[in-house]
Structure 1
Amino acid sequence: MPTDVIRRLRGDITAGDHPYLQGAWTPLLEEVNATDLKVIEGEVPWDIDGVYLRNTQNPVYQALGRYHPFDGDGMLHMAAFRDGKVSYRNRFIQTKGLSAEQEAGKRLWAGLLEDPALSTRPGWGAHGGIKDASSTDVVVHAGRALTTYYQCGEGYRLDPLTLAQEGIPPWSPLDGISAHSKVDESNGELLFFNYSTHAPYMHYGVVDRHDKLVHYVPVPLPGPRLPHDMAFTENFAILNDFPLYWDPELLAEGKHVVRFYKNQPSRFAIIPRRGRPEDIRWFEAAPTFVLHWLNAYEEGDEIVLDGYFQDEPMPRNYDGAPAGYERMMSYLDQYKMGTRLHRWRFNLKTGQTTEQRLDDRILEFGMFNQRYATKPYRYAYSAVQVPGWFLFHGYVKHDLVTGESWEVRLPEGQYASEAPFAPRVNAKDEDDGYLVTFVTNENTQGSELLLIDCKRFESGPVCRIALPHKLCSGTHSCWASGADMRDGVLRFPDH
């Protein structure tokens, strides 16, 4: 976005008393390129090589009514490591919606907290009338970054190194792409799902390493649902039908009000990766809602799935929130939802499900070494939330074999990002690498880039690198290895 436009738009944002338009959530409207960044502490290791990408929400125009942080326009941030040096750049994701609003000079779509009828133009996604901000998630597939929106959008591709805009994938289906598509690094496949308010309510698809849609099938559900994530093993994809979804009677009136139906079980659809609807096997489990999964793998007759179980999927309204934002703040507070690390086992022979709590602490936004996706793995890295806020101030490393864990906390006033695992060059084992994270520092009103050596986890950051501006907090991130990616081309084996 041109600098003169940025300056003109900056005055259009009025934070007021909104809890998510100030502090660590202050919108960033500046785009920069920065090379050879200043190291504040330590030194950049020579054995890290690749690209860290993180998506954030930054509203360009004043909201139509109440603003939800997930309404903000997508902005992708990139930090590239090579030969002991780091470069950084950030760009707005030029969605159809943002382009239309730039042309109009104002907001055109209502957000998650308002009636879609307020939108002045037709919208996208499962919600119907909202803007596809492509602001939730990012993965790297077929040599390109793919950004997505959590209530389903068209998806947008960018060069992962230059952040040059490359538009919508030609294979993007009518019902869109949900956030949390998955890339299998062993063969370059992208697995994705979408959901909608019309039958069959969900679809599952596979895009091959050449960026061609090779599989797309319905996953019939009893009605509109709100799935947020999926998982996969070597031979199966795992989708879900949780008892937290829009009230059907109110939805018929055009009102999107979420209810938790505590007497209904959670259901898991296990489908072969190139399977048909008739191949789906459904498993039942305790009622809950899960925002994010970790890994899944096959072990004998069982499929093992790890994720974050919510004890209270429909929490009570947040006390002390600004009027009109009580419910929003409750659904952004993991402490109110009670998100805890959990394991499910689905026995393909008996059809039975067993469950196990892995940690009683409030944790979410987990990461692991993606080279171990679909395999029995040992180490997981979870983010620690600030109570009451959608902000992170630490990480927990779990040894899932011994049950041990280690924790890192940031100093007061510093807030981290979702932190992917970056394998060390010539890594010797599973935890031989770094967590990579952007940090918003309210004490300095700036931002930093941190590396945490996972072999010396509790020692904290091995280096702190200054960024050229203060980042707004956001949602998801990914890591793409430089060994696989050169000049924007991701290489995969030919099998």
Structure 2
Amino acid sequence: MSTATSHADSVSPYLQGAFAPVDREVTAFDLPVEGRIPAELDGLFTQIGPNPVQPPKHRTLARYSFFAQDGMVSGVRIQDGRACWFRNRWIRSRRVVKALGERRPPGPRHFPMDTVNTNVIAHNGLLLALVETGCLPAHLGSTLETMEYTDLGGSLRHGVSAHPKLDPTTGELHLLAYSALRRWAEYLVLAPDSTVRHRQRVPLGGRPMVHDIALTPHYVLFFDTPVRFSLGAAVRGTLPYTWHDGHQTRLGVLPRPGVAGGLRWFEIPDGFVFHMVGAHEPDPARIELTAICYDRLFDGAEEDPIANRGHLWRWTVDLNRGTATADQIGDRPNELPRSDPRLIGQPMRHYYALTVDGASDAPVYHPHALLRHDFRTGEPLIRRLPPGHAASEPVFVPHPDRPGEDEGWVTYYEHDPNTDTTKLVWLHAADFAGEPVATIALPIRIPVGFHCSWIEADDFAGTDSAFAH
């Protein structure tokens, strides 16, 4: 048996260690705190990710699809300098309620599968869990129970995407919803009250994976890459997206409502992007976009689909000349970039991400270090974790009364393999590599998953009383 075959037939790393699923929901109050939680903080820190409600039938790397597993959301409520409670809850999809013997939540779905496991946001006072397949959001209560699936009063006709962008100036929510069922996406702009201010069909010429978008004052940007829907992979029960040679990678530039012109495509070197870092307009005819880019991904040669390493790239679009250039601007692998949400669409100095030491062969998806990249100097600042520890996506939490990029905190969940426990770590952004401001011990391990979110209490104030379907 070849090494590749043996590796593919081994137990999936997503069922072991920091990724291993947990088998129960837990509620705990008044969590132990070491240090001092900043009194200014009032909100909920969440992580959502895959956690199968029942032991999976297929456990090998080749057959276990990490991306398609039942969603579990975990969260810590912070208020008045206290860690008030911890909860973890499965999103009540059809598959989950059948396993748990419960009633199905109300509301439409808009897609054959209703597993939600990718991101959590707040909009119009609601707490919403998202996925990008075309299914609608799951509306969560303030204590993370699934209340319903919602189309936000009819605003979402064709599902939702995992990474909408909130314009901090207007309060509008911009999203590009795509689905494997369609060869086009829908660009939506939702007002703060969830009413539709703009709706536009965007032709894609196929079924690419469009995981994330970037926003500038005048444009929405996204990638059309060779990673495209594969019916064969879907039938096999694995991730239904694979690399297709021969498809030219393109950068789409779509004017926001009120901006003249239509969608423009710019051919760029082949690659794949999961997550944007940011975008801005240095002048009216130029756009700069930064993102984490992979040379190839999901191409069938990799038994583990996310074992490759992505790096920081910059694309510069000249709207007058109709050209786009691409340059790698960082050589340290990193992923899950996050920055100050108040600077969406504007130049920024810092972003935070997961990384690994250059000498290590550990994949980025099992990170043992965090990174703060400085665009001014071009140098990263590294925060190394103890051996074997793994971190969740680091999130920048702005100080509520101070506008500076260093005025706030960086927070993340950290898994300790020696005790098989998880803690919530708070750092001061200005002392990223220093001692934590506070660490909060959790009553159960949180499996490493997808995205984390800090959500201010005021932003989900209506989530318990509102029904939006």
State the TM-score, normalizing by the size of structure 2: 0.84
Tell me, yes or no, if structure 1 residue 79 matches structure 2 residue 76: yes
Alignment of 1:72-151 (within 5 A): 72-87=69-84, 88-103=86-101, 125=111, 131-151=113-133
* Deviation digits for residues 237-278 of structure 1 (CA, Å, limit 9, x no counterpart): 223211222458x68999986543455432122222237997
In 1, Cα distance between the equivalents of 2:379 and 2:368? 20
Residue ranges of structure 1 left out of the alignment (5+ in a row) = 1-15, 106-122, 319-326, 491-495
Secondary structure in 1 aligned to 2:250?
Answer: strand
Out of 256, 263, 266, the residue aligned to residue 280 of structure 1 is 263
| Equivalent residue in structure 1 for 2:16, among 16, 22, 28 | 22
Which segment drifts farther, 438-447 or 365-374? 438-447
Q: Match for 1:169 among 137, 146, 150?
A: 150
- Which residue is 2:166 aligned to? 183
CA distance in 2 between counterparts of 1:148 and 1:71 reads 13
Would you say the 8 A contact 1:408–1:460 is kept in 2? no
Rounded to whole Å, the distance in 2 between the matches of 1:430 and 1:92 is 34
Say if 2:253 is the partner of 1:270: yes
Post-superposition shift, 1:444?
Answer: 1.0
Equivalent of 1:451, from 410, 417, 426?
426
The separation in 2 between residues aligned to 1:220 and 1:46, in whole angstroms, is: 48
Give the match's secondary structure for 1:459: coil
Matched, 1:408 2:383: yes
Aligned partners of 1:254 and 1:70: how far apart in 2? 14
Alignment root-mean-square deviation, CA: 3.0
Farther-moved stretch of structure 1 (239-248 vs 338-347): 239-248
CA distance in 2, matches of 1:167, 1:307: 34
**SS of the residue 1:24 aligns to:** helix
TM-score using structure 1 length: 0.80
| 33 and 487 in structure 1: CA distance in 2 versus 1, 3 angstrom threshold | farther
Deviations 1:274-299 (A, max 9, x none): 37997212222111110101111222
| Counterpart for residue 436 of structure 1 | 411
| Paired letter, 1:303 | I
Query: Which secondary structure does the structure 2 equivalent of 1:229 belong to?
Result: coil
8 Å Cα contact 1:306-1:343 kept in structure 2: yes
Q: One-letter code of the match for 2:290? A: D
The alpha-carbon deviation at position 94 of structure 1 amounts to 1.6
1:155 aligns with: 137
Match of 2:340 among 364, 369, 374: 369
| Aligned residue identity for 1:136 | T
Measured after TM superposition, the shift of residue 416 of structure 1 is: 0.9
Whether the 8 Å CA contact 1:152–1:179 is kept in 2: the answer is no
CA gap 1:278/1:236 in 2 versus in 1, 3 angstroms? closer
1:421 alignment counterpart: 396
Distance between the aligned counterparts of 1:237 and 1:428, measured in 2? 25
Q: What amino acid is aligned across from residue 447 of structure 2 in structure 1?
A: C
Look up the equivalent residue of 1:387 and give its one-letter code: A
Q: Deviations over 1:216-252 (max 9, x none)?
A: 221112222121111111222223211222458x689
Match for residue 225 of structure 2 among 225, 231, 242 = 242
Cα distance in 2 for residues equivalent to 1:222 and 1:51: 40
Cα gap change, 1:38/1:427 in structure 2, threshold over 3 Å: closer, same or farther? same
> What is residue 10 of structure 1 aligned with on the other side?
none
Aligned to 1:308: 292
2:321 equivalent to 1:350: yes
* Residue 429 to residue 253, structure 1, CA distance change in 2 (3 Å): closer
Code of the aligned partner of 2:412? T
Tell me if 1:216 matches 2:199.
yes
For 2:49, what is the secondary structure of its paired residue?
Answer: strand
Q: Structure 2 vs 1, CA of residues 103 and 214 (structure 1 numbering), >3 Å: closer, same or farther?
A: farther
Q: Deviations over 1:420-464 (max 9, x none)?
A: 100124225112111111112211121101012110111142222
Q: Aligned AA for 1:306?
A: T
CA distance in 2 between partners of 1:75 and 1:179 (Å): 15
Deviation at 1:332, TM superposition (A): 2.0
Q: Amino acid of the residue matched to residue 147 of structure 1?
A: A
* Partner Cα distance (1:446, 1:348) in 2: 51
Q: Distance in 2 between matches of 1:251 and 1:439?
A: 33
For the 8 Å contact 2:333–2:364, the answer to whether it is kept is: no
Match of 1:383 among 354, 359, 364: 354
CA distance in 1, matches of 2:204, 2:459: 39
CA separation of 1:257 and 1:137: change in aligned 2, threshold 3 A? closer
Structure 2 counterpart of 1:38, one-letter code: P
User: Which residue of structure 2 lines up, in the alignment, with residue 392 of structure 1?
Assistant: 367
Partners of 1:470 and 1:252 lie apart in 2 by 31
Report how far residue 388 of structure 1 moved: 3.5
CA contact (8 A) 1:271 1:281 kept: yes
Compared CA separation, residues 479 and 251, structure 1 to 2 (3 A): closer
Cα separation, partners in 2 of 1:17 and 1:263, compared to 1, 3 Å: closer
Describe the shift of the 1:24–1:346 C-alpha distance in structure 2 as closer, same or farther (beyond 3 A): same
2:331 and 2:392 map into 1 onto residues whose CA distance is 22
Contact 2:91 2:145 in 1 (8 A): no
Structure 1 position 260 matched with structure 2 position 234: no
Q: Aligned partners of 1:193 and 1:100: how far apart in 2?
A: 31
**Identity across the alignment (%):** 30
Q: Indicate how the Cα distance of structure 1 residues 456 and 377 shifts in structure 2: closer, same or farther if over 3 A, else same.
A: same
- TM-aligned CA distance change 1:451 to 1:251, over 3 Å: closer
